[in-house]
Structure 1
């Protein structure tokens, strides 16, 4: 197996009890981190000098509808209602399996380019088994670590999740691929009848799968109490957005280990409601982060982290101005925001024992940021440098011990062909939608 020794960088491990940043070496053995420490000796390993860089755990984009990549940016000025009308009321019916494949391939490659090593692919356009298989194939071809959250277009509240498809995927390519796991993108208690919501959550629980669902404001439907009374909310439950959830409900959900995912740029821009970040922090929890829809906003998870941090700080400043109180320390820190894009993302996808931290035994999912660039130099604060990095600063990305990006370039992919196919798919879809 390949052994790679990374030297010279300042390392942000995100591991409990460790300094914010350390000058340590990392020895990768196969797909895992073998050892971390000063002046490691590994004469049989390939040595890579990363002096002037910051290495951190691979970023986690917990929530992305990757199937929309072919329609990138078409909805930049859409409200939430327009998005639902144009994408879910029109575009979904025109998708062919090949559109799913190339969207997921290109979308996942873009995520790797941005430093994301783990993707929560919330695929609620699995029209047929062929569409689902094509989406999975795109992820596998890209080489990203992913949780394929199988979903379908919005349907009747009494229609349960297609469990035959879940079991088929579990017994097929998902079972045989080391980087891919399965989850369920369910309609959830807000958009399902109580009986259906309970049945879907129970099915996910019985299969040991993460059940993720949307909640974007409005009075809570009866399904919430039904799922709670059935004891089916827990650590494998992921609430996306959670905007305007009553404080009492957030407290109940946090107490039983439910995770939350914020997509701040999309939430603030399209009108989902106020991100739930502050409510979570008050209850001793924290959000994971997603970028949501490439059709509306860019897919850079570090941008999402900065927006979430700035938005919460603005709310805290406004509160102090109203009350006349003052604080001598920041209410939220840059390290917390970086944790939302690493540790918390891994937890939300059920992968906390594999990714999100740099420690022996963890998967070798790593990102090297070139802090010698003029926009980051001098990097007095490695945490801030990592958080402030742009795509051009993402020098190298490793997933399961394999380089997927080196010297600022993606590896093992024919980008020109992928881009040509993505353009053709997008133009065909736009024509079918009547948009061109």
Structure 2
């Protein structure tokens, strides 16, 4: 990525100040906007300076950022990290096949160690890709022991995490009120590096059994993240129940929120809720049209997420790109349906970068600490720089460059809470092999539980044959025996 000599291990000693020097662009994601040829200084775990020709303490590690873009660490607000162990396995699934595989057929075979294996690989991938904070939507925690395994795996990788505790094989109004779960929560210590939420969906119908889950969440002081607006699964009636019972507020995140009506979006906006947009998921799995368009229309704060690697990767450049493109596509469709043309794009690349950073910080309730390069905030920072990448030159429009030009191969340096965890494209003290071996053992076990026939059938679902459309036209020239 650069001709510079990689520093020695002692160069990354804990507590040593770090400065990014002369970045072609510093995207602050705050009122300062973009600074050209600027520096960013980190002291301990905090951003201590942003500007030009900064004076730094003696012994500061200087990172040459010329030719690169410095931006805040990205924040993924909804990722089933444990499913990364089956990376790509369900790449041809419809959403119903995902539900049947995990919820109804094979969910019971996954052990605590399988959850841990997937989590560790996902955490490593996130940090490697410049995602410094990840919400682990961990909906396979059947017991507190499963949760312990999930936490252990995440803490083995130096990132920032939020465990969203869930159990898709149980009823949330039951498991959230079990003494074992409640005691686990009370014993769990949260801090800026590791947060805790609860993850469950509202699907029970007019009886609204989930009322007991919301009450438990409030009693325990936990934020709630819930899949909502998923076509054919949960929609406006579920939002109505939440609203009528007083459980919609600014501590609730609505994942997808793709298939809702105007009243539901108004209720989310009025109560301060946030939406986690997973565009690649919504486009492929069919929860509904990606919700960036309605989030802007109704004034709802939105963040981005990658959902699950049983389908997709943790590539947040793809998340930004697909979200911006889906918004513009919807704008074109809306205009064309009225016989009009879009002359100005209402969503800019800057908006996608905001959603990937500050939007995520708002969603997890840490907007005062994360999401922008602002003096006093936590030092979660990414340098995009690759001296051998044609797409990294020239850098003219930094926001558009991040969204439409840069990629994971251009993640040069990653800093989490002031600690350099990746430099010159190389992770520091995080080899892949031990993690890969752990995942391989998990895959071998799960594959054995399914058996070879089921393993192959689920990975390659049978497809229905499409009925051919009758074409009223013939190939030109067929009448006279010639093809023109």
Q: Give the TM-score normalised by structure 1.
A: 0.94
RMSD between aligned alpha carbons? 2.0
Q: 1:154 to 1:22 in 2, by over 3 A?
A: farther
Q: 1:119 to 1:333 in 2, by over 3 A?
A: same
Find the aligned partners of 2:349 and 2:178 in 1 and give their Cα distance: 41
Equivalent residue for 2:113? 98
Q: 1:128-162 CA deviation, whole Å, 9 max, x = no partner?
A: 22111010111110111011000002434763524
Matched, 1:29 2:46: no
Equivalent residue for 2:220? 207
Q: Secondary structure at the match of 1:159?
A: helix
Matched, 1:4 2:21: no
Equivalent residue for 1:252? 267
Contact 2:159 2:416 in 1 (8 A): yes
Find the aligned partners of 1:154 and 1:22 in 2 and give their Cα distance: 51
Contact 2:235 2:259 in 1 (8 A): no
Equivalent residue for 2:296? 281
Q: 1:205-255 CA deviation, whole Å, 9 max, x = no partner?
A: 333322011121236475533321232211110001112111111011111
Matched, 1:379 2:379: no
Deviates more, 1:373-382 or 1:358-367: 373-382
Q: Secondary structure at the match of 2:225?
A: strand
Find the aligned partners of 1:178 and 1:251 in 2 and give their Cα distance: 31
Matched, 1:401 2:418: yes
Find the aligned partners of 1:374 and 1:203 in 2 and give their Cα distance: 53
Structure 2 gaps of 5+ residues are: 1-14, 457-484
- 2:210 counterpart (167, 185, 197): 197
Equivalent residue for 1:40? 54
Find the aligned partners of 2:53 and 2:173 in 1 and give their Cα distance: 61
Q: 1:338 to 1:166 in 2, by over 3 A?
A: farther
Deviates more, 1:50-59 or 1:314-323: 314-323
Contact 2:231 2:286 in 1 (8 A): no
Q: 1:220 to 1:5 in 2, by over 3 A?
A: closer
Q: Secondary structure at the match of 1:8?
A: strand
Q: 1:193 to 1:101 in 2, by over 3 A?
A: farther
The number of equivalent residue pairs is 433
- 2:314 counterpart (281, 296, 299): 299
Structure 1 residue 313, shift from structure 2 partner? 0.6
Structure 1 residue 192, shift from structure 2 partner? 6.5
Q: 1:195 to 1:317 in 2, by over 3 A?
A: closer
- 1:184 counterpart (191, 198, 204): 198
Matched, 1:310 2:340: no
- 2:408 counterpart (383, 387, 391): 391
Equivalent residue for 1:425? 442
Contact 1:160 1:196 in 2 (8 A): no
Contact 1:259 1:287 in 2 (8 A): yes
Q: Give the TM-score normalised by structure 2.
A: 0.85
Contact 1:261 1:289 in 2 (8 A): yes
Find the aligned partners of 2:363 and 2:448 in 1 and give their Cα distance: 37
Structure 1 residue 57, shift from structure 2 partner? 0.4
Contact 1:204 1:211 in 2 (8 A): yes
**Structure 2 matches for 1:28-177, cutoff 5 A?**
28-44=42-58, 45-156=60-171, 159=174, 161-162=176-177, 164-175=179-190
Structure 1 residue 178, shift from structure 2 partner? 4.6
Contact 1:112 1:144 in 2 (8 A): yes
Q: 1:222 to 1:332 in 2, by over 3 A?
A: closer
Q: 1:156 to 1:148 in 2, by over 3 A?
A: closer
Matched, 1:224 2:239: yes
Find the aligned partners of 1:313 and 1:222 in 2 and give their Cα distance: 29
Find the aligned partners of 1:98 and 1:192 in 2 and give their Cα distance: 34
Q: 1:49-91 CA deviation, whole Å, 9 max, x = no partner?
A: 2111101000011110001111110000000011111122233
Q: 1:194 to 1:101 in 2, by over 3 A?
A: same
Find the aligned partners of 1:157 and 1:179 in 2 and give their Cα distance: 26
Q: Secondary structure at the match of 1:61?
A: strand
